[in-house]
A = this chain, B = another copy of it.
Amino acid sequence: MDIKEHILNKSLELFNKKGSRNISTNEIGEKLAINPAIFFNHFKNKDDIILELFSKMTSDWESDNYQINTIVLTDKILVEMLSKVGAFLHKYRFIFKELVFLIQNDKRLKEANLQMQSKRINEVKQMIEFNIQKGILRKLTDDEKEFFVTTLWMSSIFWKPYIETTEERYREKNEQEILTHLRVLFQLFKS
């Protein structure tokens, strides 16, 4: 693994653990025993690291997953897909916890997020149409389609922030609940 990868991995670990606000590039460099000049060669500042992690997250999702738009939503596929979503949200959890703050803070990230969001939402819309055609989902009104997509999307990106607002003793249980939550959502629109 090259130095850049090392920096990204350690940053992700530390940001997930303590929040990106509470971690400095110095701290990351020290943990990896990297000379500041070399560190600076790869990343000028923390915003650059976060932007790179965002892009890594996007390509991770794109390479690792199904062709969402033409996936047939059998129960087996659904369970598989949802647990992938769960693992994915967990892997990059600092991004989801801090998303609104992060995009206000860096215009490049805001742009990257808009692009990613519009791509994902389009895929989900295609997936819904495809599964209606296949008879797996029932016919939906336009408002229902919009509700389906928005709920799927909001539940995914805000599940981590939501957990932060719940009691600590229930967190572990609540973390898992997203799977049941999304399964019910799909169930509501099945034929």
A97 within 8 A of B: yes
- B100 adjacent to A185 (CB under 8 Å): no
CB nearest neighbor in B for A113: B165
Decide: A154 near B162, CB < 8 A? Known: A97-B100, A167-B114.
yes
Q: Which residues of B contact A49 (CB under 8 A)?
A: none
CA distance A119 to B181 in the complex (A): 21
Interface size on A, residues (CB 8 A): 35
Most chain B CB neighbours (cut-off 10 Å) among A97, A99, A101, A185: A101
Q: How many copies of this protein are present in the complex?
A: 2
Q: Which of A30-38, A58-66, A143-151 contacts B (4 or more CB under 8 A)?
A: A143-151
CA distance A136 to B48 in the complex (A): 53
Q: Which residues of B contact A155 (CB under 8 A)?
A: 151, 154
Taking beta carbons and an 8 Å cutoff, which residues of A are in contact with B? 19, 97-101, 103-104, 113-114, 117-118, 143-144, 146-147, 150-151, 154-155, 157-158, 161-162, 164-167, 177, 180-181, 183-185, 188
